Amino acid sequence: MSVSRRGFLGVLGGTALGAASFASLVLPGAAGQTAELVRSRARLPEPFTVPLPVPPVARPVRPDHYVITQRAASVEILPGLRTPILGYDGMFPGPTVVSRRGRRTVVTHRNELPVPTAVHLHGGHTPAEHDGYPTDLVLPPDWHDHAGHAGNVASGQRDYVYPCRQRAATLWYHDHRMDFTGPQVYRGLAGFHLVHDDEEDALPLPKGERDIPLMITDRAFEEDGSFAYPALDPSTRVRPGVEDEYMEGVLGDVILVNGAPWPVLEVATARYRLRLLNASNARRYRLSVPGTPLVQTGSDGGLLARPVAHDELTIAPGERFDVVLDLTERSPGEELTMRNLLGSGSTAQVMRFRVTSRVRDDSAVPARLSSVPRPDPADAVRTREWRFTRGDIGDHGGWLVNGAPFDPARIDADVSLGDLEIWRVVSDLHHPVHVHLDPFQVLSRGGDPPAPADAGWKDTVDVRPNEYVELGVRFTDYEGLFLLHCHNLEHEDMAMMSTFRTG
């Protein structure tokens, strides 16, 4: 949204301005974003030439128990170049963990990286000690220079226990280390965690290889293929933060889906369930597949009550939309492109579907999917306001919640388990606001009824500049300290995070 001095001068420098309006020149790159672009220096592939990878499903070491090793690796993202990553099992995205509702899943995370980490299961209904609070670190086994922020710190490895008492949904896990989440996720620490249940299995939605998770991220690359991220301390060992001009957020000019640049997927004349996740640090997308609606069947927190057809869907960092793409009326030879209507040039395209075979498909999208009871605002015990704004932290700029920077030693709200509360989230710029522990429903947006894309249970909501959104939230089961924060990861690292205590 805001246009930095650098972006503006870049445009002026390369163009004879004439009488062209400021907006028409600048907005195509900056539209719908609170962030700044890093340009790649590497040679980039032609779009739609790299096949879409699907992350492998993690194999348990015994039933419901997984071991994931966080390690550095070098992978081929851009054809012919190597990119050093920090990866779960050395992969980006990490392996997909699959859980069954109500079956306790344990994931042992081993840290073989040169930096501390914290693992958060985003969308998980998880006890506080396993939620990846940013100071509950897993240190590398030989880490000695760890200073400050005493949390519940483990050395070398830690077991994360997930009771999975929650609906089937598309969750994801990612790094949540205090002050360093942005650079560590950017370098690869993100993966899917899917929860399945009987209710969803009983529906005729596309399944198996036609149920595909799509992790969408943007990245920029140096000439040698390494990720370009404007960290003040590229080792992310000591000093947090990014160069000043990127304080609003870091955008890349390459769109990756499941870690591949503008990939192509060969498809049949069938329905596909796409689990869309925006795992980008700061970029918002407006996705569209011209010629075919995106029929939404699920939100962050699982099935909607009934499907909602969208011509375009805006997805902010942290959000998920499960959609069905119906290709049953297509013919081999046809191609459909997923576009990003908020992008321009290289960022305007996401991926392509190439129809290569004809099949019979008996999947369907039923008119009724699940029951999603609306919280009744009349039952709310209170309304709390959370203001997400830019502000100063000491002598530098940062991002604040209710006027204060994140401090793990401070509790900003006490909430009783079982109470329905209305949380009114107020923003100055774009802030994708995420709440841990339990999903919420959007009650209103700017005083108006929720938008079609706000439907269902959510844990992340796209709050736009000068907007307020009212959420109905009710926390259940687990006492302790949980987070509410902006999921623009640069904002999060620059303190736009707050702790609430349930009890």
Q: Binding to ligand C2O by residue 122, rule CB under 6 A?
A: yes
Q: Binding to Cu ion by residue 176, rule CB under 5 A?
A: no
Q: How many residues does the chain have?
A: 503
Q: Binding to Cu ion by residue 122, rule CB under 5 A?
A: yes
187 contact, one of ligand C2O, Cu ion, none, CB 5-8 Å limit per kind: none
Task: Specify the pairing of strand 119-122 against strand 169-175.
Answer: antiparallel
Number of Cβ within a 10 Å radius of residue 123: 27
Give the binding range for Cu ion (CB under 5 A) out of 115-123, 137-145, 182-190, 303-311.
Answer: 115-123
Q: Rounded to whole angstroms, how far apart are CA atoms 482 and 493?
A: 16
Which of 231, 303, 483, 495 touches ligand C2O (CB under 6 A)?
483
Give the binding range for Cu ion (CB under 5 A) out of 24-32, 186-194, 250-258, 424-432.
Answer: 424-432
Give the binding range for ligand C2O (CB under 6 A) out of 20-28, 89-97, 163-171, 483-491.
Answer: 483-491
Q: Binding to ligand C2O by residue 140, rule CB under 6 A?
A: no
Burial class (CB within 10 angstroms; exposed 0-12, middle 13-18, buried 19+) of 27: middle
Residue pair 443/380 in contact by the 8 Å Cβ criterion? no
- What H or E segment, with its residue span, contains residue 497? strand 497-502
Which of 431, 458, 464, 485 touches Cu ion (CB under 5 A)?
431
Give, as ranges, the residues between 467 and 496 that touch Cu ion (CB under 5 A).
486, 488, 491
Which of 109, 130, 158, 174 touches ligand C2O (CB under 6 A)?
174
Cβ density class 299-329: b for 16+ within 10 Å, e for less: bbbbbbebbbebebbbbbbbbbbbbbbbbee
Which of 101, 109, 120, 390 touches ligand C2O (CB under 6 A)?
120
Residue pair 116/140 in contact by the 8 Å Cβ criterion? yes
Amino acid identity, position 161 = V
Residue pair 410/149 in contact by the 8 Å Cβ criterion? no
Give the binding range for ligand C2O (CB under 6 A) out of 200-208, 216-224, 330-338, 481-489.
Answer: 481-489
Residue pair 479/128 in contact by the 8 Å Cβ criterion? yes
Backbone angles phi and psi of 435, in degrees to 5? -120, 130
Q: Binding to Cu ion by residue 342, rule CB under 5 A?
A: no
Q: Binding to Cu ion by residue 352, rule CB under 5 A?
A: no
Q: Binding to ligand C2O by residue 436, rule CB under 6 A?
A: yes
Q: Which residues bind ligand C2O (CB under 6 A)?
A: 120, 122, 174, 176, 318, 434, 436, 483, 485, 487
Q: Which residues bind Cu ion (CB under 5 A)?
A: 122, 431, 436, 486, 488, 491
